[in-house]
Amino acid sequence: MGARKIGARHGKVELADIVRAHGVAFRAAHRLCAVQHRALAAIERCRTAALGGELRVCEACGTPRYVYHSCRNRHCPKCQMRAKERWLAARRAEVLPVPYYHIVFTLPHELNPLAQGNARALYTMLFAAASETLLEFGENPHWLGGEIAATLVLHTWGQTLTQHLHVHALVTGGALAPDGHWIHPRRGFLFPVKALSTVFRGKFTAGLKRTFACGALALAGSTARLTEARPRVALLAALRAQPWVVYARRPFAGPEAVLDYLGRYTHRTAIGNERLLAFEAETVRFRYKDYSQRGRRRVMALPALEFLHRFSLHVLPRGFNRIRHYGLLANRNKHLLLARARSALAAPAPARKTTPPETAAAFWQRIAGIDIERCPRCRRGTLRLVARLAPQWHPPP
């Protein structure tokens, strides 16, 4: 393969190029679970003849254009924009006219090896500890004394694709009181981060201790020692002895800023194609932010197999929901509680949507200013569907 840049055929490097070039060798070198295999296979085939598609022809110049289907896998960086926009459209009706706070709960890196073999269990405990901490602080009369609204989003990666297990929480600046009035924060901030950190740590370590006791964790490899009581006690003591990281930002300036936040965090993949710089022979180069240097942009080079290994660490368990809602946004009574909150805030009810669902052509015109029905060659004619293409597992060159 030499030093030739992969991905040059379409002018940029994509994650799919790396999977196609090194996926077989990576699968042979690593033991992957079924959901990791499916994610890599979907990324490899996304928008290729392997998934089938359509043949369209320009009415003006006769140029044919093949439009292939997307994989719709949530780990594919090419398939998140429409999913994100649909999700945001549903959330617009749920945003209240109050400040929103961004709070991040992070697990210590000592738990990373345990999470590799027990992702579902560790991620569930992380959600439980973070959400229970926020809800209890909201219900505490010392801080608010009511029910908050919170959306939590799981991220498992850092900028260099290493494990960095944390949840981003978007929390209303205030709470709905039991008698139906809205309670605003009284101290210029929502909750103290040091107290949040202490309670969060206590809840998570208590949950981990219970999980150890009932034998619900798979312990092998570097975590096999935890099958014995003494190493478990030592791990729990070490976790309790260190301060845990809880970070809080100042409130957002209005509903649009809240939605902008949601769009940036909810449907993000471990790495997007825009961060990939080059793929030469066996090496992948990509951009990252060095937060130890105030977010300075740097470039990292990794062997392709190591790059794929780091990426595969962030494939979620099958069916695992990485976006969860709590308090006023809990699904069982969301509409009733949001109506009460709007009444308390003297806010109008959201307008009912009567327009039909947005077409793909209208979506891309609005988001990117691209007319996907216009011929990219002559720029005059309209592309008309002439044939539907069946999937081809071995597409011709």
Cβ atoms of 148 and 138 within 8 Å: the answer is yes
Locate CATH 3.40.1310 in the chain. 81-270+314-344
151 against 259, higher pLDDT: 151
Given this model, what pLDDT does residue 291 score?
Answer: 87
Given this model, what pLDDT does residue 166 score?
Answer: 97
DSSP string, 333-355: THHHHHHHHHHHTTPPPPPPP-S
Cβ atoms of 177 and 146 within 8 Å: the answer is yes
Given this model, what pLDDT does residue 8 score?
Answer: 39
Given this model, what pLDDT does residue 3 score?
Answer: 36
Query: Looking at residues 257-285, what average pLDDT do you find?
Result: 88
pLDDT for residue 70 is more than 80: yes
pLDDT for residue 330 is more than 90: yes
| 94 Cβ contact partners less than 8 Å away, ≥ 6 residues apart | 149, 329, 334, 338
- ∠ at Cα 40 (35, 46), nearest 5°? 120
325 against 358, higher pLDDT: 325
Going by their DSSP bridges, the two strands 64-68 and 100-106 should be labelled as unpaired
pLDDT for residue 105 is more than 50: yes
Q: pTM of the full predicted structure?
A: 0.91
Query: Looking at residues 87-105, what average pLDDT do you find?
Result: 89
Mean predicted lDDT score pLDDT of the chain: 90
Which segment of 115-119, 219-223, 253-257 scores lowest on mean pLDDT? 253-257
pLDDT for residue 24 is more than 80: yes
pLDDT for residue 221 is more than 70: yes
Going by their DSSP bridges, the two strands 283-290 and 64-68 should be labelled as unpaired
Given this model, what pLDDT does residue 7 score?
Answer: 43
- Which secondary-structure segment (H or E) carries 307? helix 304-312
Region of residue 6 (phi > 0: left; psi between -120 and 50: alpha; otherwise: beta): beta
The HSE-up count of residue 351 (CA atoms within 13 Å, CB side) is 3
The residue ranges of DSSP E strands in the chain, in sequence order, are: 53-58, 64-68, 100-106, 149-157, 163-172, 175-176, 182-183, 246-248, 276-280, 283-290, 296-303, 323-327, 383-389
For the record, the structure tokens of 292 come out as: 């130890």
Going by their DSSP bridges, the two strands 149-157 and 100-106 should be labelled as unpaired
Given this model, what pLDDT does residue 255 score?
Answer: 72
Given this model, what pLDDT does residue 394 score?
Answer: 60
Cβ atoms of 201 and 107 within 8 Å: the answer is no
DSSP string, 134-173: HHHHHH-TTT--SB-EEEEEEEEE-TTS-EEEEEEEEEES
For the record, the structure tokens of 375 come out as: 């011929």
Cβ atoms of 271 and 216 within 8 Å: the answer is no
Given this model, what pLDDT does residue 353 score?
Answer: 67
358 against 161, higher pLDDT: 161
pLDDT for residue 11 is more than 80: no
Given this model, what pLDDT does residue 367 score?
Answer: 67
The HSE-up count of residue 133 (CA atoms within 13 Å, CB side) is 31
Given this model, what pLDDT does residue 240 score?
Answer: 97
Helix and strand counts by DSSP (H, E) for the chain = 11, 13
Query: Looking at residues 105-123, what average pLDDT do you find?
Result: 97
Give me the percent of the chain exceeding a pLDDT of 90: 75
Strongest mean pLDDT among 118-132, 261-275, 341-355 = 118-132
The fold of the 81-270+314-344 domain, in CATH, is Replication Protein E1; Chain: A, (3.40.1310)
